[in-house]
């Protein structure tokens, strides 16, 4: 029985690792994403015996990971960790070395710029709003599923989502991203 | 505007890009590492897997044990200190003997309720009270307009001013001599209110600093050709507080909802006649006929020197279409000093932008008016509307700072006093009817679309550093 549960959980990890990783990366940042994802999923594997099928596998997994990653004490611990270790060595090794500007096509440079700007803007959002935005817009979950994961009502999820969108748009506006892209196109 | 639109488009595009980043092929290695770790976890012994939980559990046990040990130790020291003072003597051989007495049983007896003994001593008819076996718990509060039931329904007390209590002794219809007492616990004086009959029941409607209005059900002897009989009479009396001079109001109608006292004004309605009486000159003034015609009977409220009233059709909350009708209610304000009549402007802050209304014998708020004037935003109106659907608001007071109401939900646990503050966004949950004693201050949060706790409104006495009467 225990073996079967472990096998089932491994299948789950196989299927949904990408989503979980993107969620953690989107809400915490790329720096500690792999380590936190792994820790959270290991914890979730021990809780998997309590799964009763009330929600889908993906939602359950994301809810378990959210609880692990975003509980108050863990955030405090992570903040201290981040202060001690700016970027983990492993992540530096795994990080892809960005191509030099002249090696990148215009499209790639534009994409890179947009992704960087989004990451920086997301970092300025309140945690809950960030979580709601990633779940709704990056992972494409429904309002109800997002509410289950974040333990919030549908109305609250919508409010957070709107708040996040509004703040992101303001950030993009303030950073003149459009102007940067236009500039890039003219110079090429 | 164009910039904002461009920004919105770029956010959407960036989000679409983020949906596929990092690519699945980039995640293969981390995923493989995780699966290897999960495999390793599977083979770890159970106590290592749960090492963190076990440590936390042990820590918790140690903490609880520490707290208990500290409590026991402190308790032991405390009891020793008390008992040591009871008896200690030096013997002839210079040894000291300490006697640890049991606590005095009298000291453990229940502390008498505040004022109970004093009231019993000063009530002229205490033997009757004692015979009835009723326990008088005198209301030791300074809260205004509080209506309390003491024990059973046989005693009713109402605190009307600081340290002054109206106490009704009676309720047993077979007995004679029920009285209403005005007891002042500061001056220790007791006065009997003249009632003109044997009062069987009493309802305190509008205790006020100048007047207290009571409805009395009394029994009087009736002589007729057929013989003597008894007659039950419902009387509404307004007592001037200092002199206890009674004024009979609306005996014919006898409806307690037909009169009001506020400050120095008494307002009485009989039929379509609205009369106001100024306690300074003591004269009743009849409002003009056209004003009487305009006022829906019973729908008015006095605040300060102003009489507010609704004209037009009465509100019917069950029929929202009435809001659209041309003769929908309007709020009018009559200055009782100058006689000037004007229509209030809903959006002008101040006391004239709120109004309470009477519906039959129950005080209820004209809720649509409240919503219109309390907050211009539709969202808070929705929130208040929801509250209204769930329960009932009873008007307790209206002054320049806001409306003070009792909210009664579906169960008694949902009873709470609120003050809708005139700053337009604050709802103060108060500990009692007294709005100066706030319990929880709630402010409507536009983003969260609900009331959240917040600071006291700026014009609250506590916020201004003024002492609140205790």
What pLDDT, in 10s, does the model give residues B368-415? Answer: 334 333 433 344 444 444 444 445 555 454 444 555 555 555 555 555
Tell me how far apart the alpha carbons of residues A6 and A113 are, in angstroms, rounded to a whole number.
41
Same structural domain, A62 and A122: no
What pLDDT sits at residue B19? 77
* Domain end among A95, A130, A164: A95
What pLDDT sits at residue B343? 66
CA distance B5 to chain A (A): 9
Give the residue from A115, A123, A171 showing the smallest Cα distance to B4.
Answer: A171
Same structural domain, A69 and A103: no
Q: Is residue B310 a contact partner of residue B331, using CB atoms and an 8 Å limit?
A: yes
Whether B33 and chain A come into contact, CB under 8 Å, resolves to yes
What pLDDT sits at residue B14? 82
Q: Which helix (H) or strand (E) holds B80?
A: helix B51-84
Tell me how far apart the alpha carbons of residues A174 and A168 are, in angstroms, rounded to a whole number.
10
Provide the Cα torsion B24, B26, B32, B33; round to 10°. -140
* Domain end among A51, A75, A95: A95
What pLDDT sits at residue B420? 58
Cβ contacts of B34 on chain A, cutoff 8 Å: 13, 17, 37-38, 41-42
Tell me how far apart the alpha carbons of residues B40 and B157 are, in angstroms, rounded to a whole number.
75
Q: How confident is the model at residue B314 (pLDDT cuts 50, 70, 90)?
A: very low
* pLDDT beneath 50, residues of chain A: 85-102
Contact A42 B41 (CB under 8 A): yes
- Closest-CA residue of chain B to A24: B22
What pLDDT sits at residue A80? 62
**Among the partner residues B18, B41, B448, nearest to A45 by beta-carbon distance:** B41
Contact A169 B17 (CB under 8 A): no
For B134-157, the DSSP string reads: PPP-------TTEEEEETTTTEEE
Residue A39 CB neighbours (<10 A) = 18
Same structural domain, A112 and A178: yes
For B185-227, the DSSP string reads: TTTTEEEEPP-SSEEEEEEEEEE-SSEEEEEEEEEEEEEETTE
Q: Is residue B35 a contact partner of residue A10, using CB atoms and an 8 Å limit?
A: yes
**Among the partner residues A45, A138, A168, nearest to B38 by beta-carbon distance:** A45
Express each pLDDT in B107-161 by its tens digit. 333 323 334 444 445 444 333 333 333 333 333 222 222 223 333 333 444 444 4
Cβ contacts of A121 on chain B, cutoff 8 Å: 11
What pLDDT sits at residue A12? 79
CB neighbour list of residue B346: distance below 8 Å, 6 or more residues apart = B331, B353, B369, B372, B373
- How many residue pairs from chains A and B have C-beta atoms closer than 8 A? 97
Tell me how far apart the alpha carbons of residues A129 and A125 are, in angstroms, rounded to a whole number.
6
Same structural domain, A91 and A102: no
Same structural domain, A85 and A134: no
Same structural domain, A67 and A156: no
What pLDDT sits at residue B103? 27
**Among the partner residues B21, B37, B449, nearest to A115 by beta-carbon distance:** B21
Q: What is the token pair recorded at B184? A: 């002042």
The CA-CA-CA angle for residues A60, A55, A148, to 5°, reads 70
CB neighbour list of residue B33: distance below 8 Å, 6 or more residues apart = A38
Average pLDDT score over chain B = 55
* Cα–chain center distance at B233: 31
Q: How confident is the model at residue B188 (pLDDT cuts 50, 70, 90)?
A: low
* Domain end among A70, A95, A120: A95
- Closest-CA residue of chain B to A118: B14
Q: Which residue has the higher pLDDT, B48 or A19?
A: A19
Q: What is the token pair recorded at B260? A: 């009001």
Same structural domain, A154 and A77: no
What pLDDT sits at residue B293? 60
Same structural domain, A12 and A56: yes
Instruction: Please state the domain count of chain A.
Output: 2
Which of B50-54, B93-97, B270-274, B358-362 has maximum average pLDDT?
B50-54
Tell me how far apart the alpha carbons of residues B233 and B212 are, in angstroms, rounded to a whole number.
19
Q: What is the CATH number of the domain that holds A146?
A: 1.10.10.10
Same structural domain, A156 and A79: no
- B-interface mutation test, from A32, A138, A163, most B Cβ less than 10 A away: A138
Give the residue from A89, A108, A88 showing the smallest Cα distance to A99.
Answer: A108
Percentage of chain B beyond pLDDT 90 is 0
Same structural domain, A105 and A174: yes
CA distance A84 to chain B (A): 22
Q: How confident is the model at residue B243 (pLDDT cuts 50, 70, 90)?
A: confident
- Closest-CA residue of chain A to B450: A156
Phi, psi for residue B96 in degrees, rounded to 5: -105, 130
- Closest-CA residue of chain A to B40: A42
Cβ contacts of A156 on chain B, cutoff 8 Å: 448
The arithmetic mean of pLDDT across residues B301-326, rounded, is 50
Phi, psi for residue A12 in degrees, rounded to 5: -60, -45
Residue B440 CB neighbours (<10 A) = 14
Q: The pTM is what? A: 0.37
What pLDDT sits at residue A78? 62
Same structural domain, A6 and A83: yes
Q: Is residue B218 a contact partner of residue B232, using CB atoms and an 8 Å limit?
A: yes
What pLDDT sits at residue B223? 63
Same structural domain, A70 and A120: no
Q: Which domain holds residue A78?
A: 1-95
Q: Which helix (H) or strand (E) holds B274?
A: strand B273-278
Contact A41 B38 (CB under 8 A): yes
Q: What is the CATH number of the domain that holds A55?
A: 1.10.1740
For chain A, the DSSP string reads: -HHHHHHHHHHHHHHHHHHHHHHHHHHH-STTHHHHHHHHHHHHHHHGGG--SSS-HHHHHHHHHHHHHHSHHHHHHHHHHHHH-SS-HHHHHHSPPPPPGGGS-HHHHHHHHHHHHHHHHHHTS-HHHHHHHIIIIIS---HHHHHHHHT--HHHHHHHHHHHHHHHHHHHHHTTHHHHHHHHHHH-
Whether B41 and chain A come into contact, CB under 8 Å, resolves to yes
Q: Is residue B259 a contact partner of residue B213, using CB atoms and an 8 Å limit?
A: yes
Tell me how far apart the alpha carbons of residues B149 and B37 are, in angstroms, rounded to a whole number.
69
């Amino acid at each position: 029985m225990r073996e079967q549960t472990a096998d089932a959980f491994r299948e789950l990890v196989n299927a949904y690792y990408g989503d979980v990783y993107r969620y953690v990366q989107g809400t915490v940042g790329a720096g500690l994403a792999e380590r936190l994802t792994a820790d959270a999923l290991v914890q979730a594997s021990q809780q998997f015996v309590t799964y009763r099928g009330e929600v889908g596998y993906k939602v359950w997994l994301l809810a378990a990971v959210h609880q692990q990653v975003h509980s108050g004490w863990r955030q405090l611990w992570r903040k201290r960790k981040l202060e001690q270790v700016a970027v983990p060595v492993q992540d530096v090794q795994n990080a892809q070395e960005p191509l030099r500007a002249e090696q990148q096509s215009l499209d790639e440079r534009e994409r890179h710029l947009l992704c960087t700007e989004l990451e920086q803007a997301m970092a300025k959002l309140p945690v809950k709003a960030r979580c709601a935005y990633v779940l709704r817009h990056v992972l494409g979950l429904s309002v109800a599923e997002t509410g289950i994961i974040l333990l919030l009502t549908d109305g609250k999820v919508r409010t957070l989502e709107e708040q996040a969108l509004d703040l992101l748009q303001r950030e993009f506006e303030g950073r003149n991203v459009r102007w940067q892209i236009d500039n890039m196109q003219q110079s090429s | 505007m164009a910039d904002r639109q461009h920004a919105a488009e770029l956010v959407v595009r960036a989000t679409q890009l983020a949906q596929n980043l990092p690519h699945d092929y980039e995640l293969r290695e981390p995923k493989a590492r995780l699966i290897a770790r999960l495999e390793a976890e599977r083979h770890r012994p159970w106590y290592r897997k749960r090492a963190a939980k076990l440590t936390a559990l042990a820590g918790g046990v140690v903490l609880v044990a520490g707290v208990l040990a500290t409590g026991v130790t402190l308790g032991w020291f405390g009891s020793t200190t008390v008992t040591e003072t009871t008896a200690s003597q030096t013997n002839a051989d210079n040894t000291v003997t300490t006697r640890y007495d049991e606590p005095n049983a009298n000291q453990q007896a229940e502390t008498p309720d505040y004022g109970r003994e004093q009231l019993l001593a000063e009530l002229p008819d205490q033997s009757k009270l004692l015979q009835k076996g009723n326990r008088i718990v005198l209301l030791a509060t300074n809260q205004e307009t509080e209506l309390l039931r003491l024990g059973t329904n046989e005693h009713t007390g109402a605190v009307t001013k600081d340290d002054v209590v109206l106490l009704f002794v009676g309720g047993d219809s077979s007995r004679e001599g029920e009285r209403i007492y005005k007891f002042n616990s500061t001056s220790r004086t007791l006065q009997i209110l003249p009632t003109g009959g044997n009062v069987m029941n009493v309802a305190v409607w509008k205790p006020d600093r100048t007047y207290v209005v009571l409805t009395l059900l009394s029994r009087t002897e009736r002589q007729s050709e057929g013989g003597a009989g008894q007659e039950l009479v419902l009387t509404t009396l307004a007592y001037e507080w200092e002199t206890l001079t009674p004024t009979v109001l609306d005996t014919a109608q006898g409806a307690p909802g037909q009169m009001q006292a506020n400050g120095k004004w008494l307002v009485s309605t009989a039929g379509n006649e609205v009369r106001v009486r100024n306690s300074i000159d003591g004269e009743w003034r009849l409002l003009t006929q056209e004003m009487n015609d305009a006022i829906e009977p019973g729908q008015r409220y006095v605040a300060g020197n102003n009489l507010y009233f609704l004209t037009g059709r009465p509100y019917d909350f069950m029929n929202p279409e009435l809001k659209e009708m041309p003769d929908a209610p309007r709020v009018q304000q009559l200055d009782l000093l100058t006689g000037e009549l004007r229509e209030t402007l809903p959006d002008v802050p101040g006391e004239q932008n709120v109004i309470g209304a009477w519906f039959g014998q129950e005080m209820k708020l004209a809720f649509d008016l409240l919503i219109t004037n309390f907050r211009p935003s539709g969202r808070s109106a929705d929130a208040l509307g929801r509250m209204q659907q769930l329960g009932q608001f009873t008007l307790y007071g209206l002054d320049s700072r806001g409306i003070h109401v009792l909210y009664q939900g579906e169960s008694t646990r949902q009873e709470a006093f609120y003050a809708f503050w005139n700053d337009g966004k604050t709802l103060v949950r108060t500990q009692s009817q007294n709005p100066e004693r706030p319990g929880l201050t709630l402010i409507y949060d536009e983003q969260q679309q609900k009331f959240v706790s917040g600071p006291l409104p700026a014009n609250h006495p506590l916020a201004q550093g003024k002492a609140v009467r205790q």
